[in-house]
Structure 1
Amino acid sequence: MDVFFEPQEGSPFCIQIGFHDTVLEIKEKIEKHQGIPVYRQTIVFNDEALDDELDVEGCNIINRSCIRLIVAPEPPPSTKIELCIGTPPSKMRLPIEVGVRDPVKSLREVVWSLEDVPLERVKLYANGTELEDDCRICDYELQDNSSVDVHIKPLKFTVMVLPWKANLKVAVEVKQSDKVKVLRKELEKLQPILKFDLPSEGYFFIHNQSGMDEDKSFKWHGVEMGDTIEIFRGMISR
């Protein structure tokens, strides 16, 4: 379908988009045809700024719709600011100098080098919003001494669960911070596929010959990668 864009400055233009295109994909087409970088674009339809993850159908855009295009000014290329990076677990603030046109990914890579964890586990937040790799620092209106919080996504690991009176072990992926009771939900998902039995009259978990408190985390119980957790029929009396 063809839609028309009306920029604040310059002449209107028409671009062909697909029915299932996302707003981000529309911005990428505008960048390709008009040379306006994605990070400078805000698309407004029916007086509402559209989020990148929405699609054409969800926005009720139809053939020959007219859409406003707001183009943010390009910041000076040499502008530098200093951000205060809050690093876990102490949340100590570290000053890091960045260019306002630098991509968020470059800042995330700096933080990754400080934290010594896999890059995909590092998430950055400012004013409650996650900073996305394909955006630039200037997209989030960060200024000198703005605070950026670092979140480290919990590491997942695999535990082996031995069902009641079974010869097979079931591999279940969990986080160390998860409470043990998440095992019940995961086992219920796997039971129809792997065809193992879960005692209908109730059951509890054993790790290293000790009953597990399901309201405590795997980390609290000292569970590590590859450990075996056994299922026993009955209930633990407190």
Structure 2
Amino acid sequence: MKVIIAMKGCEFSIGLSPQEPILEIKNKIQHSHGIPVSSQTLTVCGWELIDGLDLDDYPLISEGTKIYLSTKHTPLVLQQHNGKIKITVKFSARKIDIEVDKTDSVRSLKEKIHIVDGTPIKRMTLFFSGSEMEDDYRSLVEYGIGEFSEIIVFLKNMTRVVAEPPIRRLDLVVQTSSSLLNAAKISVEMNDTSTVNEVGKLLQERNVLPCDDYIFIHKQRLMRDQCSLRWHGVQNGDYLYIFKGTVTRGG
């Protein structure tokens, strides 16, 4: 399969086998681009790829996945996307400036607007560059939002507000990596309003997970412990991947 290696100022594709050692990937990069193995750091979803593991230890990596490459002399490309930015939120008669993370979703942006301004989340419809922003799991940076971007807020009439969708039961497959356990697949059933933390507690009760030091990934995106499966856009039959480690967001 082919993946995309992204570094500051350029991207290039590289062919890999599913059992490719991480160290061998770095050797290929050194051979093709002259970057010493000792200075390379590879990351996916904010998690560093470890030299002692193989590619199949990372089930979230598939055809076309973007792997970020940095060197000791180059800041992580991923960190450039994870920083805090200031944006302007404009209402019909006022505007406010707030600080957000580029990795925030539209839903979490609405939550921050509610905290700062008190506007009910259900009344908000957000627009950027003339297009409506959906309450999905895409990050703000994926919408093209950067420092000093202006978000327009339209308010719905309360009589027209659509009720929250009913709670749904989701049949999910949890895939653990060999670095955490023995690459097991576990079927779980959860409400879509359940948080990622609640999924973790259920797996701990089944003696599947340790008490700490693990992260959840859904569709190549890091999941947040206190947010619901619905918030992350998880659908019936989806896979959730678990890896050993912790992630510190850039600031």
TM-score (norm 1): 0.44
Q: Which has the higher contact order (CA 8 A, sep 6+)?
A: 2
TM-score (norm 2): 0.42
